[in-house]
Structure 1
Amino acid sequence: MTTSGRLSGKEVALHNSRDSCWIIVHGHVYDVTEFLDDHPGGSRIILKYAGKDATQEYDPIHPPDAITTNLPKEKHLGPVDPETVEKVEVKITDQEKERQLRVAARPSLDEILNLHDFEAIARLVMAEKAWAYYSSAADDEITNRENHFAYHRIWFRPRILRNVAKVDWSTTILGNPSSMPVYITATALGKLGHPEGELNLTRAAAKHGVIQMIPTLASCSFDEIVDAAQPGQVQFLQLYVNNDRNITKRIVQHAEQRGIKGLFITVDAPQLGRREKDMRMKFEADDPSEVSKSGSEGVDRSQGAARAISSFIDPSLEWADISWFKAITKMPLILKGVQTWEDALMAYDAGLAGIVLSNHGGRQLDFARSGIEILVEVVSKLGEKRGVKFPNEKFQLFVDGGVRRATDVLKAVALGATAVGIGRPFLYAFSAYGQEGVEKGLQILHGEFEMNLRLLGAPTIKDVVPEMVDASNVSSHASNVPGDKLYENNYVGMESVRLRGAKL
């Protein structure tokens, strides 16, 4: 101990092995020795910082309160004297220097005309690991592309000679006002793209009157995100159900106490899909000497960031659990990840508030159908089986995946969706330009809504009806559709395995 009552960095540095592993996070020391083998990302990453300050590595992939919440109190060893801490040398590689030059050479926001542009810039300025995590999808990434291309199989039937001098694209989502039929859907690890992480989304959403869905696996803590909201700002929570239901209950009830207006329970992730772009990032570094010294055969690095942060998800979640959720909260319950009309019907019969027709952004089961295709099926079958018409205030349908234009949203609305979730484009926007990028993206969507409502002959969102679209070809997967050059130019195919150091 130092005279200030703080631990000395020299003392912490002695605990740098698998047998005794202390780390420093945000100026406090933690004994993580017994936690090494339980860490979702493996012991390697912790041992790399054994006896040192791990804050820099910790921040992008953990909420600030993750370590204090998950580690027993007796393992919280107290504050450290910052003057005595061994500084972890941060080496700026040539690759990073080149990236920083590209950041400095970004075009101004005035030159960004659509959501595709953000992706093009983000691809150039993001760190490679972050780009791999955000852009990756399951297996051959067929579903990832299909999510977008499915909208190309739906065509408009615009009406003419209607008074569209004034158009209004505002709506309500689960009874809450929204400036457009769009919400910012949950996406994990915001700090991989920007130091402010999900707070970029919170602040931009407030300014533009849209709803943010807070992810379970945010880089910022839940309370940090809620605290950043403006008075009256509406937020939803996306929930991965924990193996420990007491933890889930605590999260849900805390969210309700903080004023969250909807609980979106993810139901399409009993196991995380193989996202090979993300997984490639694990091939680069050798195990640190501490792992070798321990006699271990090494850490399995083949699963990528997605697996590293998601090992707690309960694969036993089932329909019978819906009654338990109803017993612990009065928030509207929505199932996120419904992919068939049969499950949509079960959700309707279970008295849920709605469903999200989604395949997890193409990141789970490859060759799962797009949300927009499932929407057509669900509206038809629930109408046939239960006489339900959509949009429906009591049972709302949402869609996410592949949306890049207001025209995509309007197609979904015409077919019965209440609103559409947009995820990756906003990640790319703040990765490239911070909060201002997200605001620009929302401004672009507002402009597109105004123009397209006029061209459709629809003064309001309620005037966007099924007769305005032709979706007869939506389920024809083998049909020819027009190419989308902007989207295709941004898509980066998956690399095959390479020889180390070889230039091929």
Structure 2
Amino acid sequence: MAERKITLEELSQHVKDTDTWMAINGTVWDITGFAEIHPGGPDIIQKYSGGDASEPYNSVHSLKLAEKNFDASQRIGTLNAYFVANKLPAENTRNPRLENDLPEIDEIINLTDLEAAAEKASINDHGFTKADNADFYRKIFLRPRVARAVQDINTKTKILDDVYDIPIFNAPASLMMLAHPDAEMALAKGLVASGSTIIIPTLSSFSTEEIIEALPADHPFYFQLYVSPNKAALEKMVDSLCKLRPKAIMVTADLPVFSKREANERYEKRIAKQKRASEPGATTAGRRSGQARSAGVSIDPNLCWSNIKWLKESTGIPIFVKGIQCAGDALQAWKIGCKGIYISNHGGRAADTAQPTILTLAEIRFYYPFILEEMEVFIDGGVRRGTDILKAICLGAKGVCLGRPFFYALMYGEEGVRYTIQLLKDELETAMQLCGITSLSEAHIGILNTRALYRDVESPQSLSSKL
């Protein structure tokens, strides 16, 4: 039976909340109710309801993601071929940013160079906590031991019974297709080729299944979960995750509401201004204050420890709490039986002026050192050097996660990810040798001088105060 053909005129008639259609790459879908649960917020869905959303969709999503999100019963038909001719995107083979006079990758010798290249491509932003995340690593001094045999180096780390060649992972991030059309596919391949694995984000450009297919058979992976306020949507996602069997689910807890993202807002205002200049009469009046705040409707502001405990008990999958920012919450995660914690302040983009993540790790070590022995510990925020990685491991972390550096590295695709990891691995190995150890299992607090760091650790009175 021939599939139904839909004209733009017919498509445009379906814009009501109770009857909403949208065309994506030639397929017309019934998306009634989807705006309420769309991870990117309702604004973009409402804007393109009753129209062709192919262009904005393809800028941040893979071709197959719509088929994953929508049931076959929601497929109405195909948009008249006249209107969709030449609309499908070309195969993802090259990053258009590389045509923007970026340096050759072998000209980059550290992550500072990589960030400078990103600034040239206009994908950088700043904040106080973001700066402090990196600066506080400089409060920790190394105390090298000498006259040790250090020729052979081992950078392996063991997490949940899996051994990785390096303690370097990705901090899950959204909209990675803005850096490269292969997005998480390139990231996953680069991480695995380097002896690590990927933490798949909820807001990925490709479906979780597509990303898993890019991994070797039975290769471990992690999944970062934003808890949806829509119970049905959450249960559907959790059911899907249980079938895919990630090594752990990392529940993001540090973003009950979306924070103010000034870099995003400036970009959106600049685009709106350009649109008004090119389209007389165009206006953004009545729009909400940006994509970031709009996306916040897909995150449950009432996430509590009881919800995290429910996830642990209902899935049977190890649970990590992502977004730990004080020792008290690390203790709470341990009390309810979580397998791990992920120390993070969202790269400084959640509560700006929150304490740096390495200081949180030091706080946990000072007050509850047993947590670092009994739980797996990841940390992100400010890691830019191999010495930073060694310091985090000495303080008790099992793995460090990179956010912005991998986003920047993706300007060069999979090669950029592998190249960035190799830069850090070389620096880590050198730091280990210069400190007199040959294995990360030998890393310990005695290698560090943390006096300046611990002056900023919070007092016991604050830890015991009732919130």
TM range (shorter): 0.7 to 0.9
Amino acid of the structure 1 residue aligned with 2:353: F
The amino acid that maps onto 2:5 is L
Aligned residues: percent identity? 33
> Which one-letter code corresponds to 1:169 in the other structure?
T
Is residue 52–residue 85 contact of structure 1 (8 Å, CA) maintained in 2?
no
2:272 matched residue in structure 1:
285
Structure-to-structure mapping, 1:25-424, within 5 angstroms: 25-32=24-31, 45-46=44-45, 49=48, 52-62=51-61, 67=66, 75-85=74-84, 103=99, 105-125=101-121, 128=122, 131=123, 135-136=124-125, 141-283=127-269, 284-285=271-272, 298-303=285-290, 305-383=291-369, 388=370, 390=372, 392=373, 394-424=374-404
Task: Work out whether 1:450 is the aligned partner of 2:415.
Answer: no
Change over 3 Å in CA distance of 1:308–1:82 after alignment to 2: farther
Q: For 2:261, give the aligned amino acid.
A: R
CA positional deviation for 1:42: 6.9
Give the deviation of 1:424 after TM superposition: 1.1
Asked whether the 8 Å contact 1:42–1:299 carries over to 2, the reply is no
Q: Match of 1:415, as an amino acid?
A: L
Task: Note the alpha carbon deviations across 1:178-235, whole angstroms, 9 max, x for none.
Answer: 1112211211111111111111111111211112100001111111111111123221
5+ long unaligned stretches in structure 1: 91-98, 479-504
Q: 1:389 to 1:78 in 2, by over 3 A?
A: closer
Residue equivalent to 1:459:
438
**2: distance between equivalents of 1:38 and 1:355?**
27
Distance in 1 (alpha carbons) for counterparts of 2:348 and 2:433: 32
| Alpha-carbon spacing, 1:332–1:36, altered in 2? closer, same or farther (3 Å) | closer
Tell me: CA distance 1:300–1:477, structure 2 relative to 1, closer, same or farther (3 Å).
farther
CA contact (8 A) 2:37 2:298 kept: no
**Deviations 1:385-421 (Å, cap 9, x if unpaired)?**
xxx274x2x3122211111111101001111111111
Q: Contact 1:357/1:375 (CA < 8 Å) preserved in 2?
A: yes
Query: Are the structure 2 counterparts of residues 42 and 457 from structure 1 closer, same or farther at C-alpha, using a change threshold of 3 Å?
Result: closer
* Compared CA separation, residues 251 and 319, structure 1 to 2 (3 A): same
| Cα distance, 1:73 vs structure 2 | 6.2
After superposition, what is the alpha-carbon deviation per residue over 1:64-95, rounded to whole angstroms, capped at 9, x for unaligned? 566556667665311234344377899xxxxx
Residue 462 of structure 2 is matched in structure 1 by none
Match of 1:483 in 2: none
Measure, in 2, the Cα distance between the counterparts of 1:248 and 1:44.
21
C-alpha separation in 1, matches of 2:336 and 2:46 = 47
Q: Secondary structure at the match of 2:323?
A: strand
On the 8 A contact 1:357/1:399 being kept in 2, the answer is: yes
Is the 8 Å Cα contact of residues 6 and 28 (structure 2) preserved in structure 1? no
CA distance in 1: counterparts of 2:284 and 2:349, whole angstroms: 30
Letter in 1 for 2:230: D
| Secondary structure at the counterpart of residue 418 of structure 2 | helix
Further displaced range: 78-87 or 104-113: 78-87
AA aligned opposite 1:57: P
CA distance 1:222–1:105, shift in 2 (3 Å): same
AA of the residue aligned to 2:309:
S
Q: Which residue of 1 aligns with 2:464?
A: none
Deviations 1:408-460 (A, max 9, x none): 01001111111111111011001x21111111111112211221111110110
Deviation string 1:450-500 (CA, Å, 9 cap, x unpaired) is 21111110110011110000111115569xxxxxxxxxxxxxxxxxxxxxx
Distance change in 2, residues 1:164/1:448 (3 Å): same
Q: Secondary structure at the match of 1:473?
A: helix
Closer, same or farther: CA 124–402 of 1 in aligned 2, 3 Å: same
Partners of 2:70 and 2:97 lie apart in 1 by: 40
Aligned length: 445
Q: Alpha-carbon deviation of 1:246? A: 3.6
Match of 1:438 among 410, 414, 417: 417
CA apart distance, 1:247:
2.7
Does the 8 Å contact 1:282/1:301 carry over to 2?
no
Amino acid at match of 2:435: L
| In structure 2, distance between residues paired with 1:154 and 1:227 | 41
Q: What is the deviation of 1:56? A: 2.0
- CA distance, structure 2, for counterparts of residue 195 and residue 101 of structure 1: 10
8 Å contact kept, 1:44–1:299? no
Kindly provide the CA deviation profile for residues 128-179 of structure 1, in whole angstroms up to 9, marking residues without a partner as x: 5xx2xxx446xxx111111110101000000011110111111112221111
Question: Shift in Å at residue 26 of structure 1?
Answer: 2.4
CA RMSD of aligned residues (A): 3.2
**1:171–1:47 distance in 2 versus 1, CA, 3 Å:** closer
